[in-house]
Each structure stands twice: as C-alpha cells, then as structure tokens.
Structure 1
Amino acid sequence: MTKTAVKQAKILLVEDDEDDYILTRGHLDDLTALDSQLTWVKSSAEGLQKLTEGHFDVCLLDYQLDADTGLSLLKKAINAGVSTPIIMLTGQPDKQLDLQALEYGAADFLVKSELSEARFARAIRYALSRREYELERINRLQLETDSRSKDRFLAHLSHELRTPLSSILGYTELLLESDSALEARPELNIILNNGKHLLSLLNDVLDLSKITANKLELRPEIIALRHLLIDIYTLLNVTAIDNGLQFDVTALTALPDTIIADGTRLRQVLINLIYNAIKFTDAGSIKVEVWLQQQVEQQMLFFRITDTGVGIPAKRLKDIFVPFMQIEDMFTRKKGGAGLGLAISAELIQHMGGSIDVTSEEGKGSIFTFSINPGDLTDVNLSQFNAELTYSEPQETGEKLQLTGEVLIVDDLADLRKLAGHWVSATGATVSYARNGAEAIERVKAKLASQSHYNLILMDLHMPVVDGKQATTDIRKLGYRQPIVALTATMAKGIHQQLSDIGFTELLYKPVTKKQLYSVLKRYLVAAEPEVALTPIANIGVELQFLVVEDDIEAAQLLQLLLESLGVKVTLAHSAAQCLQILAQHDHFDRILLDMGLPDSSGWQLVQRIEQSDADNVIVIISGQNVEESDAKPAIVQQSLLKPVTKHMLSNLVKGCYE
C-alpha cells in the first residue's frame, strides 16, 4: 500500500467505557488503509459540543452513555444541523434500535461483539463517502447561493449606476440644446460621449454576468444575410472613414439568402470585432470576408476580420478571450475598455454553435476568424454577394434643407432607425419610429383615425413579426395614399416592378446615403418657410399631464426638465405613499412614470394599488434593469423604459399620447 493510497480521517468517539475505547482504538489501528486521528470524549454533552464544531469526518457513538442514550445525542446533533456521519455502536443486537437509529439519521449501526475488521472498515468507508458527498452538496448549495447573491448585486448595481448616468447624460443633452453654454460645447460633448461609453461598459458587465450564470438566452430567427452585412457596413463605414481607413466587405463563396441565428447577438459580435479592428488600426484597411464551408455534417458560416493595425504580442494571444484581460499597450495608447468585448464575443459565438480564433503579428495587424451554425440550409437559395455595390459616402454639398411634415421610419435595427432619424430631423421634419411592420400598421391606423397621416413612410423590407411588403399591403388597404419608400439590400431582377405592384412609391438601396435620403425627402415633403419656428410637440393638442414617481430627487428633477421642454406639465412624487396621496387628490394623469426602486414599497406592489384605485391609469415603468415582459402583467403597465432615460425616448412617449 503506497502512502498516497492511505485515507486520512478525523474521527470522534463518544464512549463512556475506557475498555470499549481501547477496543475501538485497536480496530482503527488494524485498518491499514486508514490514517485516523481519534478524539475521545466520555459524555453526551461533550460529544454534542465537538460535533457542532464540525471538525470531524466520522463520529462513532455509543448507544449507552450513563444516564443518557446515544439516540438522544443523535437526535440533538441532527436537529442542530450537524452533517458529520454518525455510526451508532451498541453492546447487544436490537433490530428495533437499529431501525430507530437509521430513522433518526445515523449512517450505520454496529454491534460491538460482532465487529470484524472487514465490517468496521466497510462502515468507516461508507461514512467517509457519505461525508464527502455531503460536503460536495453543501459546497454546491453555497455556490448557488453565491451566484444568486451575485445576480442580485449586479441587478442592484445596474440600477444604482443607471440612475446617476441618467442625470449625467440628460443634463448634458439639455445644456447642448440650450444657448447658455455655447463656449463649453466641446467639453460637454466629451462628457456626453464618455457617459455613453460608461453605459456600454455597464451593458458589457451585465452581459458577461448572464453568460457566466448560464442565463443567456439566444433568440434564433430567420435573418436575411445580405441585409445584415450591408447594415453592418453602413454603421461602421463612417467610423472607418473618420479614421482614414479603407473598409470592405466581400464574400468568398455564394452565401445563403437567409440563415437561422440570433440576429441581435450576431450583429453584436461583428460590430465588436470590426470596431476593435478600427480602433487599433492607425493606417491601412479593415477587410471583412464571409464564406460558407462544409464541416463534417454541417455547413458553417465563416467570418474573417483582417486589419493592418498594431497587432497583439504573441505571449498575450492566449489571454485575449479571458474576461477583464487587455493587450499590453492598451493603456499607453489610451484606447480604453474593460477587456470584456472579446470575452463576450467568444461566449456568444460558442452559444451560436461556432468557435473563434486569432492570429496576429505585432506591428503588422491581426486576423480574427469565427464561425457560426447557420441552421439547415438544405432548401435555402445560395447567391453571390453583390461585390459591385459602391460603398462610398458622397461629399457634403453644403445644402441645408428646411422641410415640414412627419416621416415614419420603420426598421427593426435601432442603430439604423437612429441614423435615418437623425438625418430627417436635421431638415426640421418630425420623425416617428416603428420597430416592425406590425407597429407601423398600428401607427398608421391611429393616425388615420385621428383624421391625420404621415407625409412619408420609409419602410425596411426585412423585419420580424410583419415584414415590409406585408405591412405596406395592409397599410394601403387602410386607405393610406401618401408615398412609401422601400429600403432594401436586395438587387434582384424585377424588384422595382414587384414592389410597385405591392404599393411602394419608390426604392432606396442600402446602404442609404445622406444624399440619397435627402433627394427623397425633397420630393415628398414641403419646404419650410425660414422664418416660421417649429411647433413644439405638446402644442398640437391639450396639454399633457404626467406624474413622475422617483425617489432620487436629481433624477426626478431631470425627468421634469426634459418633459417640460416637450410641453408636458409634470407633478413629482418621491415615494409610494406620496404617489397614492397625489392620485387621490388628482382627477387624471395622461401617464404615470414609475421608478421600480422606491423606499417604502416595491414597484409591482404600487402598480397593483394604483390599478385597484383606478384601472384607467397608464403606467410607464422606469427601471435600472430590464423588466421582463412576463412581469408586466397588469394591463395598466403599457411600456417600460430602461435607464438612462433620454429626451428622445421621452419625445416618443409624448408622441404616443397623441396617437
């Protein structure tokens, strides 16, 4: 028997007879496979004290202890939460006593007169195995408890960080829009950009926490691959141009028209890797190559991002996908970041059934290659990615458009909605948004019901829920006669006629440039008189009244300022009690903006009390963490806003009150 095979155990013997102690000690010494450290106590009280200290692997407990019994000690130990396995020892065989001891929680029951080395060894070995299992169970429960505590902490941290970020971003935007701080605009823009950067870091931390807790859920959907690639290009080409870099997206093989994947997460990975390439490249180019390749029994979709940047030191390549690790020169280059992006990307790729690899040479650039499972492509058409698309942003003409009218932008990608909305808003026209065709149909229906209409609809074709073609068909059936312009990455033969037959007025190919968009706006919107000021949103009807329930005074005041700048009358409440008191004295509020973290009540409890008092109220939840749809069961909860709440978000909320 080698020394490494000897089992070590701390054993407690509770025995009031010295002769039996000597016999037990002898049995233990005979067990050559066990290196035991025996502690002997003579009374039930001492035994319980030692057991509750929790330092023993096994307890040998005599049944008869003076005036007390071992069963009594066994029961007390189990009730006290002692996890040490207890083996009951008795002088005479007794089936009833045996069953009772096991029922109370004993690991085994041994008769001293019938004890052999083999029987004793088996009982000790079983008890030690039980002890190890119990320790593993306790450790597992502790880890689960720690994980739940971490999740609660991160949720709380998210709320606590988003609240001050709301003030930082909100007040900065207000100052930038006012004339009171013209000289400080460069500094204010720095504050705004860094505040947004902090928000992106917070989102990264929460993403990573979901991944490590195995709580990240992908939402596979049918994705138009060409549409996705061109959208990615549109978003990042401007950044590449600003940095003096050439940016290209090419396909090495025919690509499937559609794939099955989580579109949001795939875009997140691509944007992360491409943006990193741009960030760490001072001169040269960024090239994205896409191809389809057979891997054993599954076709995999590959992406390769090549840059001519600073490269990564060879000794650090193994660390770059580890959370919170950053390449060596990041601090000296002042590029920033928490070192989470690559770790999150690697985990997301793994969840999408693929893998990621990197090769790099310091001073010459890096190549990141990753794959994903695109789903079953058996019946999916493969086509060439049109490499003839010209990705060039036209030079600014210096033309300053001044237009009136309202444009509805329909696109499932928030970044593209925001970009198009920014260009339209710059002309003075009013912008509304819809995330899919179903929302667009409802918005048009509401407009027509109020004897009004949008002057122009910009409609993306590829969207979830209801796509652009079906939405346009349904909108035309409602009686909408104004122009609808299709936005698409598809350049199929006969597409113009097909879309015209559905009801589209004309077609814009993605990536849509500012010049192309302005050309469309000039055709369908009315030129504004230069001297006429734009009408504030709230002046189109009766003054809106909002109740803001927020315990953070600065955050409440910021919401009040932002809403008042939109023409809304605001009443503030800083607790649940104050909210209910105001509601009891007030006839009606158009919206109740409710923070979920109040000092005197949980948000959902307050929602229930408001609903019980007046079910006609409309509540908008404001929270520092995502509110699950399943949680928002009460009918009066119609919307949720994630902090930081911006003026743009509130503007959409106000517009919704008039529709």
Structure 2
Amino acid sequence: MKSEQLAALFGRTFTPSLAGLLFSIIPVALLWPHLPHALLLGWLGIRGLIVAIRCLSAARFQHQRQSLQDPAQTESWQRRYYGLLALDALSWGAVGVGFHIEGLPELNGILLATLVGVMAIGLFSLSNSFKANLLFSSLTLAPLVLHQLSLGTQTGALISLGLMSFFALALSEARKMEARNTELLRHRFANAWVAEQRQLALLSAEHSSTSKSRFVAVMSHEIRTPLNGILGMTQLLERSELDLQQREQISIMRRSGQHLLALVNDILDLARIESGKLAVDTGPVNLGETVNDVCQLLSQTAQDKGLDFELILSPALPPYALGDASRIKQVLHNLIGNAIKFTDKGLIRVEVGSTLDMRAGKLLRFAVQDSGEGIPADQLERVFAPFEQAQDLRRNAGPRRQDGTGLGLTISRELARAMGGDLRCSSVPGQGSLFEFTLPLQSCPQPALAAGQAAAPPETAVGDKPMRGTRQLPQLSGRVLLVDDSAVNVLVASSMLQHCGLQVDQAENGIEALERLEVQAYNLVLMDCQMPRMNGFEATRRWRAHERSHGLGHVPIVALTASAVNGDRERCIQAGMDDYLVKPFEMDDLLAVVQGHIRLSEQG
C-alpha cells in the first residue's frame, strides 16, 4: 500500500511542478520594477533548480520502481520525496515574506492569490497523501500568515484569519480525498488479488484437466493392449472346433472383454467432453443401413429377453444425410441398450423419421420407446447426469441388478449436442419411457462407390445377422511386416493374418522395421505407434523419405495402435501412414483393412 501511494505521488510530480514553475513567472514579472533584479532572478533560478531535481528524482524512481523490493529502499525514496517537496513549498513561502511591498496592496493581493492558487494545485496533485498536503500547505502559507500577523494591523489579522480558515478547509478536504484514494487503492488490490486467484484457479483447473486427460489416455492405452490379447484370442478360438460348453465359455469371455472395452471408451469419451475435445466427423450417412446395423446387433438381445422389437423407418427419409455414422450408432446403441435393460416385458420400438422445428428447421428424429417401469417426472434430468444409474431413479427400484458406469446417457446427450442436435426424455411411471434424439436433417447425394462395389438397397427391417465365427475367411496371398513390441499383440495379429494365408514377418521397433524393409519387399506394413528405440511415426517418416530418395514404390503402412485420443489419426496420416486401426480390433475389421491395401498394392 505504501509503495503504491509513493508511486502515485512521484507519478503526479511532473505536471504540477512544471505548472508551478510557470506560476513563478507571475511574481517575477509583477515585481520586476519594484525589487532588485538579482533577488527575483535568484529566486526564479532556485525554483527552476528545485523543479528540475524533483522531476529527475521522479523519473529515476519510475525507472527503478520494479526493482524496489526492500522496505528500507521505499523509506529512503519517501524521505527524498518529502525533502524535495518541503524545499518546493519553502521556495513559495519565501514569496510571502521577501516579496511584500508596502504601499502596493494590489500587488500584495496578487501575490496572495498566487500562493493560494499554488496551494490549491497542491491540494489536488497530493490528494492521495494527507501528510504530503499538510507539509506543502503549511510551509507555503505559514511564512505569509506569520508575516501578516507581525504587521500588527487589522488588515493583516483578517488576512491571516482568512488564510488559516482556507488552510483548515483545505486540510479537511485533503483528509477526505486521501480516504477516498486509499479505499480505491484497497479495492484495486482486492480486485487484483481476486483476478490473480481466478487465474491461478484457471491454471490449476487446466493443469488438472490436462493431467486427467493424459492419465485417461495412458490408462486407455494400457488397458486396450491386454484387451487386444483377450478379445483377439477369443475371436480365434471362436473359429476353431468347439463343443457347446466351450463355445458358451468363450462367448462369456468375449462379452466380458467387450463390456470392459465399452467402459474404457465411455471414460475416454467423458474425458473428451470435459476437456472440450469431443470430435465429430461429418460425412454422408446411409440412414437405413446405420440404423439397421444397430438394431440387428441388439434385436436378438431383446428377443432373448422375451421382448418384442419393432423398427419403423419413415419412407420419406432421404437415403443419405450428412452426419457422423459412428457417433449416431453410439447414441442409438446406448438408447436401445438402456431400453432393453430396463424393460422386463412388452415392446421396444425404434422409430426414425423427420420432424419440423420452428427454430431449428427440419430435423432427423430417432425415437426409442420402451414399456418398462418409467421414470418419475422430477428425476428425468438426473438420468443425464454423470454416474447416475437409471435403476436408482425408477419408481419402486429394488436392489441394484444392472451394471454399467452411468455414463451412457451423459455421453449420448453431449454427442447429440456436438452434432447440432439434442437428446430429450419423457416418461410415464408404470408405462415406459421415450427418448428422442434429434439432428439437423441435411440430405446429400450418395457417395461414389469403390470400384467393383455394387450398390445395395437400404434395409428397412431387422433380420438375422451371421454369427461371428461362422463367416468364411478371405484367402489372401502376400507378405506382411508386423511391427509391435508387445508379444501378445504380435501373436494375436499374426495368427489372424496367417489364418488367411498371409506370410508374416515381425519387428519389435522402428529400427528393426526399417532394416527389414530395406532387404525384403512387403505388400503391407502393420505398424504400432508407441515402441522403444524408435516409434512408428518416426519409422514411417524415414521410410517415406527413403522411398522418395531412391524412387521406390509406395508400401502401404497401417497404424495398429492402442491409443484412441483425438488427433491420433491425423498424426498417423501426417507421418505418412495410409490407414489407422485401434486396438482391440475385430478380426473382420483387420482383415478388411489388410485385404483392401494388399489389393491396392498389387494393382499399383
């Protein structure tokens, strides 16, 4: 506080001091014919010297202010300021004594007015310090008051009384101004402290969010790696000769692994939502195919539970619309899965159509209706809160029998809003619930089909889907380089590839991969991204540079990574990779990617 007050005093030195120097010309000009010129010029020179010293001192203080950490230094500057202020005031006080001329009341009156004006200037320029005002005013007026009293005249006494009254009034006002300035300074410090605390809190929150996102990303990577081994091996076992009991055991293992993977994905999505990094990839979406994919996956679950499952697709829907197919499937999967989970008997109905909103325009509407227990009206919004279990909110809820994190609806609503839509819920206790998921409806033309791919009409009814493990594997030929430092991942991927007739070579890091690529031709490279010695990004960049410098053909490189955070796909593409597959992957997805790139390499 003291340092700020001193800085304010020094900061207001220049203008009042220069104005005071101009005022000094008035008595010199008026008294030039009546007093010795040497006296007047000497006084004016002293005034100029004092003003120059004060201004230089103020400039030096401003220059050194940031380095003043020691209170003793502040005290020293304060003494210097008050000493120079006292000299300035005494130089004015000398006018009231040394420049008084008998018999010229007009001139004396002008000198008196000059001193009062100087004091008034000081009153405002020194407003943040009562002590400085008291010092300057008393040393300026005291000599004049004493001189007038020493004259022993009635006029002198009246002038002295008037000056002292003005002095008292000025000091009273100075006290008030100091109090106001001090209060403003306190408010400024308080606001600065609040702003600093907010900034610290913001930095702390950003650091916490970054740390949490990093932790979630690392944990996601570390969990996905063993999950890739579990789910990969169960897929391979499903394709082997098993009896009924063994197939059931493998199915339990697979469902458990998929459930754990779903939990990891939910936590990762929640972290993206909280950090504002939830990504939406907009493109043409085949509406009928997208909805049927989800319904075919879940309809059997509903039927196994004794529920009727009904899908209604409006014939007025365009075949294709702009959206994010994977995110739409994710939301529908959550909504339909919840409906099946909380319905013991009756019907699950899925309707897809369009609706018109007065503000948003034409909307794509997905409605999932169940005949379950329903949710009380005062609990409808709570179902969208993180970690809330719908089982706990339903009427007459018994002991908890449902699993899950309570994140599905939270993530679904945020996904809907990220895509420009919304997710709402209505319910009648005892009759069921209705979840409505809306998106802006923007029809688009059918995307160009890949060469040799036939156009298939969109399905409009739920049908049977081939069981996993019964599909015929494609028979491929070629040599694949598998680069991964995890023995489990290598075993899973190489087994899947060898089932299709591919030859597989292995490398544990980027350096080994580059050595193998230089001596052996490969149809495809499957590259892990995080490896010791040299990661997959650097290895890919170096091989692409080697291809360009030696005029070699392009070898397809596909990333196989357990990292699923935003920006990973883009980072892979920028490094020179051709595709990206996240662990744990489905065998069908891996083989589809491999088959596509091997065909392209053979054509090239």
Give the TM-score taking structure 2 as reference length.
0.61
State the 1:581 CA deviation. 4.5
Residues 405-449 of structure 1 deviation map (CA, whole Å, 9 limit, x = unaligned): xxxxxxx9xxxxxxxxxxxxxxxxxxxxxxx644x21xx3xxxxx
Unaligned runs of at least 5 residues, structure 2: 6-60, 83-126, 134-176, 467-471
Aligned to 2:583: 643
Q: Is the partner of 1:360 in helix, strand or coil?
A: strand
Q: 1:631 aligns with which of 557, 565, 571?
A: 571
Question: More strand per residue: 1 or 2?
Answer: 1
State the 1:338 CA deviation. 1.3
Distance 1:87 1:283 in 2: 85
Correspondence 1:385-424 to 2 at 5 A: none
Contact preservation (8 Å) 1:548, 1:594 = yes
Correspondence 1:160-171 to 2 at 5 A: 160-171=222-233
Correspondence 1:604-615 to 2 at 5 A: 604-614=537-547
Q: Is the partner of 1:637 in helix, strand or coil?
A: coil
Question: More helix per residue: 1 or 2?
Answer: 2
Distance 1:373 1:87 in 2: 69
Aligned to 1:23: none
Contact preservation (8 Å) 1:546, 1:590 = yes
Correspondence 1:437-476 to 2 at 5 A: 437-438=448-449, 440-441=450-451, 444=452, 458-460=454-456
The amino acid across from 1:488 in the alignment is: P
Contact preservation (8 Å) 2:573, 2:579 = no
Distance 1:77 1:609 in 2: 54
Aligned to 2:86: none
Select the structure of larger CA radius of gyration: 2
Distance 2:357 2:474 in 1: 58
Q: 2:67 aligns with which of 75, 84, 87?
A: 75
Contact preservation (8 Å) 1:231, 1:511 = no
Aligned to 2:504: 570
**Structure 1 residue 154 corresponds to structure 2 residue 221:** no
Contact preservation (8 Å) 1:288, 1:306 = yes
Is the alpha carbon distance of 1:242 and 1:572 closer, same or farther for their aligned partners in structure 2, counting shifts above 3 Å?
A: same
State the 1:161 CA deviation. 1.4
State the 1:156 CA deviation. 1.8
Residues 165-186 of structure 1 deviation map (CA, whole Å, 9 limit, x = unaligned): 1000111122222237775221
Distance 2:427 2:522 in 1: 60
Aligned to 1:622: 560
Is the alpha carbon distance of 1:458 and 1:201 closer, same or farther for their aligned partners in structure 2, counting shifts above 3 Å?
A: farther
Q: 1:128 aligns with which of 174, 187, 190?
A: 190
Contact preservation (8 Å) 1:286, 1:305 = yes
Is the alpha carbon distance of 1:87 and 1:134 closer, same or farther for their aligned partners in structure 2, counting shifts above 3 Å?
A: farther
Distance 1:535 1:643 in 2: 20
The amino acid across from 2:586 in the alignment is: T
Contact preservation (8 Å) 1:249, 1:288 = yes
**Structure 1 residue 336 corresponds to structure 2 residue 403:** yes
Contact preservation (8 Å) 1:537, 1:655 = no
State the 1:577 CA deviation. 3.8
Distance 2:427 2:211 in 1: 39
Is the alpha carbon distance of 1:359 and 1:222 closer, same or farther for their aligned partners in structure 2, counting shifts above 3 Å?
A: same
Contact preservation (8 Å) 1:244, 1:283 = yes
Residues 479-506 of structure 1 deviation map (CA, whole Å, 9 limit, x = unaligned): xxxxxxxx235xxxxxxxxxxxxxxxxx
Distance 2:245 2:292 in 1: 39
Distance 1:254 1:182 in 2: 45
Aligned to 2:371: 308
Aligned to 2:240: 178
Contact preservation (8 Å) 2:510, 2:531 = yes
Distance 1:650 1:291 in 2: 36
Is the alpha carbon distance of 1:316 and 1:591 closer, same or farther for their aligned partners in structure 2, counting shifts above 3 Å?
A: same
Q: 1:559 aligns with which of 488, 493, 510?
A: 493
Aligned to 2:413: 346
Aligned to 2:91: none
State the 1:255 CA deviation. 6.1
Correspondence 1:80-95 to 2 at 5 A: 90-92=78-80
Identity of aligned residues (%): 31
Residues 605-652 of structure 1 deviation map (CA, whole Å, 9 limit, x = unaligned): 222233344454432211112464532346852222111133323322
Contact preservation (8 Å) 1:356, 1:370 = yes
Q: Is the partner of 2:190 in helix, strand or coil?
A: helix
Contact preservation (8 Å) 1:70, 1:88 = no
Correspondence 1:152-301 to 2 at 5 A: 152-179=214-241, 183-221=245-283, 233-250=295-312, 260-289=322-351, 290=353, 292-296=355-359, 298-301=361-364
Contact preservation (8 Å) 1:316, 1:327 = no
Q: More relative contact order in 1 or in 2 (CA 8 Å, sep 6+)?
A: 2
Is the alpha carbon distance of 1:331 and 1:587 closer, same or farther for their aligned partners in structure 2, counting shifts above 3 Å?
A: farther
State the 1:596 CA deviation. 0.9
Give the TM-score taking structure 1 as reference length.
0.57
Aligned to 2:433: 366
Distance 1:288 1:182 in 2: 33
Q: What is the alpha-carbon root mean square deviation over aligned residues?
A: 4.3
Is the alpha carbon distance of 1:141 and 1:344 closer, same or farther for their aligned partners in structure 2, counting shifts above 3 Å?
A: same
Q: 1:113 aligns with which of 109, 132, 144?
A: 132
Q: Is the partner of 1:630 in helix, strand or coil?
A: helix
Distance 1:603 1:362 in 2: 55
Distance 2:199 2:81 in 1: 33
The amino acid across from 1:340 in the alignment is: L
Contact preservation (8 Å) 1:254, 1:292 = no
How many residue pairs match? The answer is 438
Distance 1:220 1:654 in 2: 25
The amino acid across from 2:78 in the alignment is: T
